[in-house]
Amino acid sequence: MTEAHSHAPAQSKGQKIPNVKNVVLVMSGKGGVGKSSMCTNLALALSRSGHRVGLLDADMYGPSIPTMLGITGRPMSDGKKIQPLERFGVKLMSIGFMLEDPKSAIVWRGPMLHGALVQFLNDVDWGELDYLLLDLPPGTGDIALTLSQQVESTGAVIVTTPQEVALMDVYKSVSMAKKVGIPILGVIENMSYFLCDSCDTKHEIFGKGGGQKVAEFAEAPLIGQVPVDPKIREWADAGTPVVQASPGSAVAKCIIAVAEELMERCDEQQSAAPAVEIDRSGGTQRRLPVVS
């Protein structure tokens, strides 16, 4: 691949989703780091703070949002727009809602994935949202590339775990985001430590410092270290994520704090956007009415 081709995606800016203030891509590059759990709980934390939130399950081959949020059903259409489902005040869309059998595999090639994603983005009636979170699949393949080209996002959140074997794949997601021009809002280190009930000692069972290494590579802040806690798994399996089911628990408070950091980073990114200059000369300056 030539140098020109390797950087081609950066030329595509993508389109804004109407009436959506912030589009946040939740990425990992590595499966099994708890990206979907983190994305779901962040969405609920943002919603519980009074914001209008949507969640798009963009993991087309492994949709898990329906299970984690305990919701089934098929979205309806008014002939023009698809109406998203809703749970705990969060608007939801997932390919999992379209499957007759949730255990069936989705055997699609790239063009079909591209078409479905574009439809979820453009044809779903998201309404007015403060945040739309996109749960991306692991890796840097067709789905991540399609989203980077089709959507103008506020930025990406990178989820990792501390161990080196995870970092090697997570670095690739960071690298891809940089190549296609997606700002990195922050890094979340999931499964950072285990807090012993009887001794109150932090046990760093997956190692130490991995999140900070990714943050340094990404040139972005480490916005949270979330501990290993059985409650996250238990409540996700029950269809009510821990931030909704047990907001006063230590792990829920930790995720809520991460959501607050994310809000600050989104605000900073929005304020850093280039100002729009309006031509009020009546056309004498011979330029378009609005230029950036």
- Number of Cα atoms under 13 Å in the Cβ half of residue 77: 9
Residue type, 265: R
Q: Which residues contact 185 (CB under 8 A, 6 or more apart)?
A: 24, 154, 155, 156, 157, 220, 223, 262, 265, 266, 269
Span 62-76, pLDDT tens digits: 788 888 999 988 888
Q: Which two tokens stand for residue 168?
A: 């090697």
Span 263-279, pLDDT tens digits: 999 999 988 765 444 44
The domains found in the chain, sorted by start residue, are 3-291 (3.40.50.300)
Q: Which residues contact 214 (CB under 8 A, 6 or more apart)?
A: 158, 160, 167, 170, 171, 174, 187, 189, 222
- pLDDT of residue 138 exceeding 50: yes
Tell me, what's the pLDDT at 165? 84
Tell me, what's the pLDDT at 116? 75
- pLDDT of residue 281 exceeding 60: no
User: For the ranges 14-23, 64-73, 113-122, 166-175, which has the lowest average pLDDT?
Assistant: 113-122
Tell me, what's the pLDDT at 107? 56
Tell me the pLDDT of the chain averaged across its residues: 82
